[in-house]
Amino acid sequence: MSTFDFIINNYRQVIYLIGEHVWIVSLALALATLIGVPLGMVITRHKALAARVINAANILMTIPSIALFGLMLPVLSLVGHGLGKVPAVTALVLYSQLPIIRNTYTAIQNVPPAVVDAGKGMGMSRWELLREVQIPISIPVILAGLRTAAVMSIGIAAIAAYIGAGGLGVLIQQGIDRVHQEMILSGALLVSVLALVVDGGMALIERLVTPRGIKIQQPRPK
Amino acid sequence: MITYEAVTKVFGEGPDAVIAIDRVSFTIARGQVVIFLGPSGCGKTTLLRLTNRLDSLSRGNIYINSQNIRDLNPVKLRQSIGYVIQEVGLFPNKTIFDNIAVVPKLLGWNKEKIRKRVDELMHLTRLEPDLYRRRYPAELSGGQQQRVGVARALAADPEILLMDEPFGAIDPINREQIQNEFLNLQAKMKKTIAFVSHDIHEALKMGDKIALFNQGRLIQYDTPEVILTRPKNKFVANFVGADRALKVLGLLHVRDIMNCSPSNIVDAAQTAPEVLKMLEQKNLRYAIVLAQGKPVGYVTSQDLKYEQGLCQEVARPYPLCLEQGTSVHEALSHMLMHDLTTFCVINDQGDLVGTVTYKSIQKSLQDFFADDAEAQ
Amino acid sequence: MIRILFKVNRFFLIMVIFGAGVAAQRTGLIDYFFDPFEYPIFIKLLGQHLYLVGCSMAIATVTGLSVGILLTRPRFKRYAGVGMYIVSLGQTVPSLAVIALAMSFLGIGARSAILALSLYSILPIARNTLAGIVAVPPALIDAARGMGMPPGRLLLEVELPNAMKVIITGFRVALIINIGTAALAFLIGAGGLGDLIFSGISLMQTDKLLAGAIPVTLMALIGDFLCELLGLWLIPQGLRLEKQ
């Protein structure tokens, strides 16, 4: 297939672009997690705040990605980073907030109250409860949120090529510009494969990290 | 009315196959309430679901009004049978009115007829129509939801009702009430009912006959009295409980065993010496004192010995009097509680209609079990 | 501590709106909109965008609902897992790739864009329809069947109403994604507000950029709001109540 040939012939550039793409997404995901997970945990204590925060994140995600890039351009231009990787990563971090915060919040909320009660009754402090009981039980769901965020970010990062962030979207962009079929297909193919691989990989990690006791509990539909 | 003929149901195939129902044969007569009773997994619910073809028979036949249900259209069949389940299954997206009206609508009744019928049913199940018609299931308590479930099953006035632990999810206090209401309803409607239960008390209370199952087999099919007094085997005896003599008392009412013309009655206006003389003459240990036909208490020879006034003045009051419908079980309980061997039975106006004594209770039980011994 | 966060929230919001207003003025956005030259173009592009979204959502909704419902029917239940897996794969593929692939195989223009958008929007609808119907309490299905409800009535009167909340959520997600992805349709010659955004970026014309970005954002937000209204209309009242 000529698309394959194209990739192989330009492997250096392709690898570089993959690297760029992965870098952007990983950085964004890391930042988003650092912000989102603690935030998700904090709002389990304050229900009123929880509704507002999740609402805000929801609104953020409603904004179409290209529009968000566009909206950030003038704003970030003021600090000299209207284009390039900075707005891309920023947008990705903002986008990833909803799945991460919501999943963290829901996961901790869904820890059976009986379990929390037992822990409290045994004399666990709030932090011990969080660390020993609530977080381990919540990990699968939190990871699921990260997975959603990751896959989403890979897709949006492709669009970020249009604001100069680099990554595999460049192949698609230039391919469309130059009407180069193989280039477009390579870009589309590579970014799809990347998304699928990451999705599958994280699904595997989810399964590995789920404490065995929880896995057994998973309800099987009749 | 409903005949089960060598009904068999097998789930799965080969070595893992489970025989849920094993060659069960019996008949439910018209107008009777038959309890399908047994421990978990005995097949009672499965048998119920075979009856309206929610599950399919593996072998055997089921006849309703002499028609083999296999020959009937399943959807039409189910529309002609009322079905109540433990979780009730009220449709949360419909109002109470719409819930009850489901089958009539399916049958194409006109609006006026449906409206009348729903109101009628809501009155019957003690749900004020004007109050609850427009409400939604989520706004009702568990007991109320269950009542709607019963009303819904009765909507098209089916001859047959299939009920699967309908009162199981209700708390014991409300359950007793709704059971009583249902019995009243059945007394009026005389439906043919198959009622699944795992509770022996419910079975004894609600059933005209009990079909006791174990591991898919029908063990005994008899009236509550017979099941209690003549259990077929150890399983049945264990299932009904070792206190089955006491349970038999639960089946009897005081009106069944009371003495309607007791000889030891005196009037409140009679004097103590008069009464004392009567006691000695008739060789009685005590007398019941009535004022205008209503019991006020009792007097013993001891009480009357040195008295001169009206016997009424030394009469010891009865802590309570029993109504005619009271179970003998309850009567015995009162006797034990108050350490009295006699109680008066009164009617709605409070007049004495008979007496129950400890001895009469003993005798009636003996009769029961003696019949049983004779029959064997 | 939390109280401070609350106050910051409101303050922040006001600052943002103010800043946005200033930016808008500075970038000439307001002037842009009043420019008689540009206005008709804007309306045309808006119309194109709405056309793309409308057509693809219509196709996606019909297809997605059908697939979702079909996979819950007894005959096809065994394919549910596989079906959902395939459709999920489709969603994992980035939107830009889907658009690009559509162009590669079908050429440029609105037709390819609508196909790409439809395919992309089917998943959330199909998946949520399936999940919603599966989540209907089995006791309801049992009671309905036991009463003699034919399968068609069962679907319409019991399964769908009780699954409606989840289905509408799926529709909402699909709609939002659709509106955003439709902005990319410009790249394959299908027009739409993406024209303004991408041109604005390449030409470094902030007013043009915002003239595209803000309406698209507003469209998404309004779409989200309309879905809430849709929910109010379609979700039966009985399912929105709290137990008293």
Taking CA atoms, A155 is separated from A191, A193, A194, C174, in Å, by 8, 11, 10, 15
CATH number at C134 reads 1.10.3720.10
Least confident of A13-27, A134-148, B121-135: A134-148
Q: Is B73 on the interface with C (CB under 8 A)?
A: no
Residue A46 forms contact with C (CB below 8 Å) = yes
- Distance from the Cα of C187 to chain B's closest Cα (Å) equals 45
Q: C146, C35, C120: which is closest to B162 by C-alpha?
A: C146
- In this structure, the dihedral spanned by the alpha carbons of residues B47, B51, B54 and B55, taken in order and rounded to 10 degrees, is 50
With CB atoms and an 8 Å threshold, state whether B78 touches C145.
yes
> Which pLDDT tens digit goes with each residue over A24-72?
999 999 999 999 988 888 888 787 888 888 888 888 888 888 888 887 8
Chain C residues with beta carbon closer than 8 angstroms to that of A199: 92
Confidence of residue C21 (pLDDT cuts 50, 70, 90): low
Q: Determine the Cα–Cα distance for residues B214 and B205; give it in Å rounded to an integer.
A: 21
Strand partners, B222: B210
pLDDT 10s digits, A184-193: 888 888 999 9
* CA-based nearest residue to B118, from B152, B145, B82, B73: B152
pLDDT at position A124, please? 75
Mutating which of A24, A54, A62, A178 best tests the C interface, going by the most C Cβ atoms within 10 A? A62
Quick one: tokens of A81? Answer: 């980073």
- Is C179 in Cβ contact with A64 (below 8 Å)? yes
The set of residues, in sequence order, having a beta carbon less than 8 Å from that of B44 and lying 6+ positions away, is B36, B37, B38, B196, B198, B213
Domain contains C114? yes
What type of residue sits at position C125?
A: I
Residue of C nearest to A73 (CA): C206
- At a CB cut-off of 8 Å and minimum separation 6, what does C228 contact? none
Which residues have a Cβ under 8 Å from the Cβ of B273 and sit 6 or more positions away? B304, B307, B308
Residues above pLDDT 70, as percent of chain C: 83
Q: For residue B46, what pLDDT is reported? A: 93
Domains in chain B with CATH codes? 2-241 (3.40.50.300), 255-364 (3.10.580.10)
What pairing do the DSSP bridges indicate for beta strands B217-222 and B209-214? Answer: antiparallel
Average per-residue pLDDT in chain C?
A: 82
Q: Would the CB atoms of C97 and A46 count as touching at under 8 Å?
A: no
Asked if pLDDT for residue C22 goes beyond 70, the answer is no
Asked whether the CA dihedral C17, C22, C24, C25 is positive or negative, the reply is positive
**Cβ-Cβ contacts under 8 Å, A61 against chain C:** 176
Q: Give the model's confidence band at C26: pLDDT under 50 very low, under 70 low, under 90 confident, else very high.
A: low
In a domain, C3, yes or no: no
**Gap from B208 CA to chain C (nearest CA, Å):** 24
What whole-number distance in Å separates Cα of residue A105 and Cα of residue A145?
Answer: 11
**Interface check A167 vs C, CB under 8 A:** no
* Closest-CA distance of chain B to residue C126, Å: 22
Task: Name the β-bridge partners of B8.
Answer: B59
CA dist., res. C19 & res. A55, Å (int): 22
Q: Is residue C183 part of a domain?
A: yes
Chains in contact with B, where contact requires at least 3 CB pairs less than 8 Å apart: C
Q: Which residues of C touch B79 (CB under 8 A)?
A: 147-148
User: Considering CB atoms only, which of C92, C104, C201 is closest to A163?
Assistant: C201
**A193: its two tokens:** 């494969």
Low-confidence ranges of chain B (pLDDT < 70): 371-376
**Minimal Cβ distance to A181: which of C104, C212, C216:** C104
Residue B153 CB coordination number (10 Å) = 25
Is the residue at C10 inside a domain? no
Q: What are phi and psi of B231, to 5 degrees?
A: -65, 135
| Chains contacting chain A through 3 or more C-beta pairs under 8 A | C
Minimum distance, in Å, between the CA of residue C96 and any CA atom of chain A: 6
More confident residue, C27 or A134: A134
- Per-residue pLDDT tens over the stretch A70-106: 878 877 877 777 778 888 899 999 988 889 998 988 8
Pairing verdict, β B265-267 and B59-64: unpaired
Residue C17 lies in a domain: no
Residues B109/C159, Cβ–Cβ less than 8 Å: no
Q: Mark yes or no for CB contact B89/C142 under 8 Å.
A: yes
Per domain, the residue ranges of chain A are 2-213
pLDDT: which is higher, C79 or B345: B345
For the stretch A191-216, pLDDT in tens is 999 999 999 999 888 888 776 665 55
Q: Confirm or reject contact between A34 and chain C (CB < 8 A).
A: no
Q: Is residue C21 part of a domain?
A: no
What residue in C sits closest to B79 (Cα-Cα)? C148
Provide the number of structural domains found in chain C: 1
Q: How many CB atoms lie within 10 A of CB B69?
A: 18
Contact B9, B50 (CB under 8 A): yes
In DSSP terms, B289 is beta-bridged to: B266, B297
Residues of the domain holding C72: 26-236
Q: What is the pLDDT of residues C101-110, one digit of tens each?
A: 888 888 888 8
Q: Which amino acid is at B188?
A: K
Q: Which residue would you say has higher pLDDT here, A113 or C173?
A: C173
Instruction: Please say if the pLDDT value at position C16 is more than 80.
Output: no
CB atoms closer than 10 angstroms to residue A157: 31
Q: What is the pLDDT of residues C212-240, one digit of tens each?
A: 888 888 888 888 888 888 988 888 888 87
Query: What pLDDT score was predicted for residue C83?
Result: 81
Cβ distance B138 to C137 less than 8 Å, yes or no, reads no
**What architecture (CATH level 2) is domain A2-213?**
Orthogonal Bundle (1.10)
Q: Which pLDDT band holds residue A130 (cuts at 50, 70, 90)?
A: confident
Which residues 52-91 of chain C have a CB within 8 Å of chain B?
A: none
- Residue B92 distance to chain C (closest CA, Å): 5
Tell me if C196 sits within 8 A of C189, measured CB to CB.
no
Say whether the A–B interface has 3 or more Cβ pairs within 8 Å: no
Is the Cβ pair B75, C149 closer than 8 Å? yes
- Provide the pLDDT for residue A220: 39
Q: Calculate ∠ Cα B193-B199-B205, nearest 5°.
A: 55
- For residue A219, what pLDDT band results from cuts at 50, 70 and 90? very low
- Chain A contact present for C4, CB below 8 A: no
The pLDDT tens digits of the residues spanning B323-348 come to 888 889 999 999 999 998 899 999 88
